[in-house]
Amino acid sequence: MTKHIFITGGVVSSLGKGITAASVAMLLKSRGYRVAMQKLDPYLNVDPGTMSPYQHGEVYVTEDGAETDLDLGHYERFAGITCSKASNYTTGRIYSSVIHREREGGYLGGTVQVIPHITNEIKAAIASMHSDDVDIAITEIGGTAGDIESLPFLEAIRQFHHEFGENNSLFMHLTLVPFIKAAGELKTKPSQQSVGILRGIGIVPHILVCRCEIPMQEDHQQKLALFCNVRRENVIEELDVKNSIYEVPLDLARQGVDTCILRLLNLPERESDLTKWKTMLETVLHPKNGTVEIAVVGKYIALRDAYKSIYEALSHAGIANSVKVKFRPLEAEELDKGALDELFSGVNGILVPGGFGDRGVPGKITAVRYAREHGIPFFGICLGMQCAVIEFARNVCGMESANSTEFDPRSEYPVIDLMESQKTITAKGGTMRLGAYPCVLRPGTRAAEAYRAGEIRERHRHRYEFNTKYRNELEKAGLVISGTSPDGKLVEMVELKDHPWFVACQFHPEFKSTPLKAHPLFTGLIRAALAYRG
């Protein structure tokens, strides 16, 4: 039987609920439990795929092609699990299926209401995690206790726990214990009030995880236990980490959060094995090879979360090469102003990530050219590959006006064009080429060497592709097509020969990188960056 952990948040947002949930999953997994994860988001978009990264950070794509919340990235990276369409439900998705069913006559004769119909639909979403292969399902509720819009989710988990029973499910509440500078003290009151809000809707947390910037004292913990109705040993401190988010699971383990959970769920406390994680963290804290600096040329640079998985994957590749990766985020439009030598001075590699729309594209193309002409290790991802193809067509093949039809529908040389399968699609939500597809690698290329494989599977999120009409001409001029779809029709990877590392892919490798298993293409980039640094 699958048991459940529900994680809620209180006091303020941005406490790192996703990282806490992911850390708990990782700890339970390291005790031999099979864990699945899920995030419930209170907003009305059916999924975050239609939102700007400025609104929501990156859109994380699952293997089965769901466009989801970036917390799922933490789940996969920390716990090494594979999320799916069942791992992310929004209010929009819940309502849309209830309303669809209503129109089909599924509730004929009845009045359709938030309770019980919406809450039942939420409970069904939670129950969809049940499987013979899952011992523990962790469900994180987005938003903060007290938000109007998350109420149906909280009511649903309250009912779920009531029906499922004590010892089969538990509530974990992540809260803030702020340090008030003027008083020189940590304050427990906001947490007490947040738990009060939950209690008002019938949820009594079993475990309290307290985010704080300085360590709590025993009397803080006792006070919280007493006033929040939580056993003292279940009040856990989660201090700000100094160096790496990957310290969080070890900090939580030190306080026995996994033991608390297993006791509460009546599950045996199997031996935990954290050796690999500790070794990995050791490398993060004390890399042997110093630092390399990678420029990331994007259009949502002001918001770190917009390229979350890219930065994480670069760090993982740093771990694999025992080097600290420093980021130089560059706003693509800045490159239009020139002063390139200054902008790129001292960088050991250039990465151009994915994106949509024409803002920033000229700057990205400039970055590609700079990397190509100066022999700086380069990695292009999705739009980054498309920019690399456009740049090559323009500046090597002399097709001056080469472009993607996304930016210039009447381009004389549409080297990137809308995919055939996209031509009849008008609706925007969930209609891109999404999720994992196989890709065949050409032997002897950098791609094949990096992967040490002939066929790979990677996740996609795009509508445009390399226009194969130009394939011969570009290949003749020296562009190497290193990966294609198995039928050979879609170009999935390109690279250059006479360059230390110039590799680009149509898919998003960043989604499959984890700290324990860096992605081969990122590892290749960082290895090349190290060599370039000399």
Judged by CB under 6 A, the chain residues 165 through 184 that form the site for ligand GLN are none
Q: Using the minimum distance from each CB to ligand GLN, give the nearer residue, 227 or 356.
A: 356
| Options 69-77, 167-175, 369-377, 459-467: segment touching ligand GLN (CB under 6 A) | 459-467
The distance from CA 169 to its chain's CA centroid, rounded to whole angstroms, is: 26
Instruction: Output the six-digit token pair for 502.
Output: 């110039």
CB of residue 59 to ligand GLN, shortest distance in Å: 9
- What 8-state DSSP symbol labels residue 116? I
Is 102 in the active site?
Answer: no
Residue 425: phi, psi to the nearest 5? -90, 130
Judged by CB under 6 A, the chain residues 225 through 284 that form the site for ligand GLN are none
Q: Which of 316, 499, 508, 519 is catalytic?
A: 508
Q: Would you put residue 398 in left (φ > 0), alpha (ψ -120 to 50) or beta? A: left
Q: Which of 210, 212, 260, 382 is catalytic?
A: 382
CA distance 392 to 502: 12
Instruction: Output the six-digit token pair for 91.
Output: 């209010």
CA distance 4 to 443: 46
Q: Using the minimum distance from each CB to ligand GLN, give the nearer residue, 107 or 356.
A: 356
Query: 251-257: which pairs have CB atoms within 8 A and are 24 or more residues apart?
Result: 252/20, 252/23, 252/24, 252/27, 252/209, 253/27, 257/24, 257/27, 257/207, 257/209
Q: Using the minimum distance from each CB to ligand GLN, give the nearer residue, 462 or 512.
A: 462
CB of residue 222 to ligand GLN, shortest distance in Å: 51
Could you tell me how many residues of this chain bind ligand GLN (CB under 6 A)? 11
3-state secondary structure of 92: helix
Please pick, from the candidates 206, 220, 462, 512, the single residue that binds ligand GLN as defined by CB under 6 A: 462
Do residues 231 and 178 touch, judged by C-beta distance below 8 A? Answer: no
Judged by CB under 6 A, the chain residues 355 through 374 that form the site for ligand GLN are 355-356
Q: Using the minimum distance from each CB to ligand GLN, give the nearer residue, 351 or 383.
A: 383
Q: Using the minimum distance from each CB to ligand GLN, give the nearer residue, 9 or 53.
A: 53
The distance from CA 247 to its chain's CA centroid, rounded to whole angstroms, is: 18
Judged by CB under 6 A, the chain residues 334 through 353 that form the site for ligand GLN are none
CB of residue 378 to ligand GLN, shortest distance in Å: 16
Nearest-CB residue for ligand GLN = 354
Q: Using the minimum distance from each CB to ligand GLN, give the nearer residue, 464 or 511.
A: 464
Is 510 in the active site?
Answer: yes
- What 8-state DSSP symbol labels residue 514? B
Q: Spell out the SS3 assignment of 339-389.
A: CHHHHCCCCCEEEECCCCCCCCHHHHHHHHHHHHHHCCCEEEECHHHHHHH
3-state secondary structure of 237: strand
CB of residue 49 to ligand GLN, shortest distance in Å: 11
Please pick, from the candidates 77, 123, 461, 519, the single residue that binds ligand GLN as defined by CB under 6 A: 461
Please pick, from the candidates 463, 471, 517, 533, the single residue that binds ligand GLN as defined by CB under 6 A: 463
Judged by CB under 6 A, the chain residues 390 through 449 that form the site for ligand GLN are 406
Do residues 228 and 208 touch, judged by C-beta distance below 8 A? Answer: yes
Per-residue x/- mask for ligand GLN, residues 19 to 58, rule CB under 6 A? ----------------------------------------
Judged by CB under 6 A, the chain residues 117 through 156 that form the site for ligand GLN are none
Helices H / strands E in the chain, number of each:
18, 23
- What 8-state DSSP symbol labels residue 509? G
Please pick, from the candidates 378, 464, 502, 522, the single residue that binds ligand GLN as defined by CB under 6 A: 464
CA distance 94 to 398: 52
What are the beta bridge partners of residue 484?
Answer: 440, 491
Q: Using the minimum distance from each CB to ligand GLN, give the nearer residue, 2 or 309.
A: 309
Q: Using the minimum distance from each CB to ligand GLN, give the nearer residue, 58 or 140.
A: 58
Please pick, from the candidates 22, 262, 383, 434, the single residue that binds ligand GLN as defined by CB under 6 A: 383
Is 439 in the active site?
Answer: no
CA distance 228 to 166: 18
Known catalytic residues are: 382, 508, 510
Residues near ligand GLN, by CB under 6 A: 354-356, 382-383, 386, 406, 461-464
